[in-house]
Structure 1
Amino acid sequence: MLQSPYTRYQRLFVYHLDLPTIPNLDDPDLIGVWIEDNTAVLFFHRNKDALVAELCRQYACTLIYQADLDYEEWEVGHEIGSFTAGSFRVAPIWEKSDADIILDPSVVFGSGFHPTTRCCLELVDKYVRAPELAINSMLDLGCGTGLLSIAAAKHGVKRITAIDNNPLACRVAETNCRYNKVQKKISVEEQDLRNRPPRTAGVDLVVANLYRGLLEELFSRPDFWQANLYILSGFLKSMEPPLLAALPADKLRFLERTRKDQWCIWVVAPRESVFLQG
């Protein structure tokens, strides 16, 4: 995340280590650390070859790879700036803007520049604002920056749980909730959905922008389908067949099925959903 003296991201220096845990690094150039699959990925504003070499020596670990890139390269080649999706104007924290949502995108997913996040944001905006649905609760699975949860909270959703397995994403999401003054409506939780599936019973809306393998696992669980409405994304057109096969098709109804740049977005509801009655 951004911390003094930095006010925006320019260069990223990335180091991937085969280290399952990382000590607390008190370094003013540190952006954040991912811990994933028993490895650590460190992100800095400046070159830290000497520091990483010392970590490798001290903890007997190996540098798997390193990279030096522009921040825009990390963000799928886009210059990070304000954009509009649905009724929302979203701006990065370093822009002086009267945007509806301000965001520190950091180095986690969900900044709004990837097609799946952008489309999910537009659909959250659409369905949460629909007066006939009266959506009051939401699960945001793979929350990343917290953008989708913040958007829902801005539109009046009262109870939101935002879940990610990346500790850095959870910290970034909590910070962004505070920036947007919606922290009282959103509970951010670090949780590995592979080991602890989400509880969807009694939830109005579930947004799951996840990778295909995890979606397939969740789709095969009957208890995943206890919410009233689902916005699902994170997979390409070529990945649809196994996901469609994993759906309990006789119990679900497709409300929307769209694509953007080969990425798929589904909106489905259980046939017993209160949103489909009457």
Structure 2
Amino acid sequence: MDELQVAGYYEILFDGESPKEPNQGLIKDFTNIRIYLLREDIEKELQILIFLKANFPEQLSFETRFIETRDYEEAYKEYYKPFSIGKKIWVIPTWEKNEPKVINLWKDQDGIPLFINPGVAFGTGHHETTKLILEYLDELREKDKFAFPTVADLGTGSGILSIGLAKLGSKKIFALDIDPNAVKAAWSNWQDNDFTKEISFRVEESGLDHSLCFESQFDLIIANITFAVLSQNIRHLAKMKSKRFIFSGIITEKKDDFILLLQSHLPGKLIHQKEWNEWWVLDWERNA
């Protein structure tokens, strides 16, 4: 898709509204890929179909539909409204940050506002994995156990977790994501939150093999990433210099396998776990 420079594409790994097939886990073995092309891109469409038929002749089914072009940047704003997470955190759309009613909403509760415009990046704050990790970080703050000056945010998406970490007390944050749209969204959202120069943020377009992941010492590494990606990059995680890791992209059926993987490559212990709709947040403390 990247080589063809299509208008857009994404893989639908999880669809909560889709009925489950017999013996199906949370994520299907075969997933749909939605590809967006311009009407005149007939040659690209043919190249895609030839590639799929040549490589996956027995697993392939497809349909083509014409859809009305709509400005996604404006369309989703209709449904993205302020909401709270945990006891103090409020996720506020950036376009409503100066609205008096919205300001009073979080200030009346002595809240901690995270101003977010997700754009086309993952990280609206609504997904269970994002809520689980923000709730847990808020709990650590409330118990005076939030002591993570230097943090790495792997798979930052919209940057919502990096911003949450900074609002809760982290001073130096390194974030990365393989999606260039996420990198742009994360940096834009960071600027919309008006941090002082004492708090630094760096975001890079990269996988988990970025040199800074191994060169820097972190008080905490967070990763809202699926088991498939984490398991493929477990050796990279093992080389990262941190005693604490918080993961929140693990589904129930992969949880035990992931803990075994951690015990094998990052020997330590699980100090916190919580489940919500088959998704888990896991706080892993590595042996000294």
Name the structure 1 match of 2:95: 94
Change (3 A) 1:111 1:180: same
Residue 197 of structure 1 contacts residue 218 of structure 1 at CA under 8 Å; is this kept in 2?
Answer: no
The answer to whether structure 1 residue 138 and structure 2 residue 121 are counterparts is no
Residue 56 of structure 1 contacts residue 62 of structure 1 at CA under 8 Å; is this kept in 2?
Answer: no
**CA distance, structure 2, for counterparts of residue 214 and residue 145 of structure 1:** 18
Residue 19 of structure 1 contacts residue 40 of structure 1 at CA under 8 Å; is this kept in 2?
Answer: no
Residue 34 of structure 1 contacts residue 168 of structure 1 at CA under 8 Å; is this kept in 2?
Answer: no
Please list the CA deviations of residues 250-269 of structure 1 after superposition, one character each: whole Å capped at 9, or x if unmatched.
83121101101110110011
Change (3 A) 1:271 1:195: closer
Post-superposition offset of 1:80? 2.4
Change (3 A) 1:151 1:200: farther
Aligned residue type for 1:227: S
Which one has a larger percent strand, Structure 1 or Structure 2? Answer: 1
Aligned residue type for 2:81: G
Please list the CA deviations of residues 72-96 of structure 1 after superposition, one character each: whole Å capped at 9, or x if unmatched.
xx99xx9422111132111122333
Please list the CA deviations of residues 157-194 of structure 1 after superposition, one character each: whole Å capped at 9, or x if unmatched.
11101111011111111111111123952111100226
Name the structure 1 match of 2:204: 189
Which of these residues, 273, 276, 281, is aligned with residue 257 of structure 1?
273
**CA distance, structure 2, for counterparts of residue 35 and residue 79 of structure 1:** 21
Unmatched 5+ residue regions in structure 2? Answer: 12-32, 50-61, 107-112
Number of corresponding residues:
233
> Which deviates more, 80-89 or 142-151?
80-89
Change (3 A) 1:261 1:35: closer
Which of these residues, 241, 247, 250, is aligned with residue 226 of structure 1?
241
SS of the equivalent of 2:214 reads: coil
Change (3 A) 1:135 1:58: closer
Change (3 A) 1:40 1:91: same
Change (3 A) 1:228 1:236: same
Give 1:2-21 correspondences, 5 Å limit. 18-20=1-3
Which of these residues, 237, 243, 255, is aligned with residue 258 of structure 2?
243
Q: RMSD of the alignment, in Å? A: 3.7
Change (3 A) 1:21 1:40: farther
> Which deviates more, 149-158 or 195-204?
195-204
Name the structure 2 match of 1:171: 184
Residue 35 of structure 1 contacts residue 167 of structure 1 at CA under 8 Å; is this kept in 2?
Answer: no
The answer to whether structure 1 residue 22 and structure 2 residue 5 are counterparts is yes
**CA distance, structure 1, for counterparts of residue 163 and residue 258 of structure 2:** 28
Change (3 A) 1:224 1:129: farther
**CA distance, structure 2, for counterparts of residue 239 and residue 219 of structure 1:** 14
Q: Calculate percent identity across the aligned residue pairs.
A: 24
- Kindly name which structure, 1 or 2, has the bigger radius of gyration based on alpha carbons: 2
Change (3 A) 1:20 1:112: same
Name the structure 1 match of 2:40: 54
**CA distance, structure 1, for counterparts of residue 251 and residue 232 of structure 2:** 17
**CA distance, structure 2, for counterparts of residue 196 and residue 54 of structure 1:** 42
**CA distance, structure 2, for counterparts of residue 222 and residue 206 of structure 1:** 9
Which one has a larger percent helix, Structure 1 or Structure 2? Answer: 2
Post-superposition offset of 1:19? 4.6
Name the structure 1 match of 2:22: none
**CA distance, structure 2, for counterparts of residue 66 and residue 138 of structure 1:** 44
Aligned residue type for 1:266: L
The answer to whether structure 1 residue 80 and structure 2 residue 80 are counterparts is yes
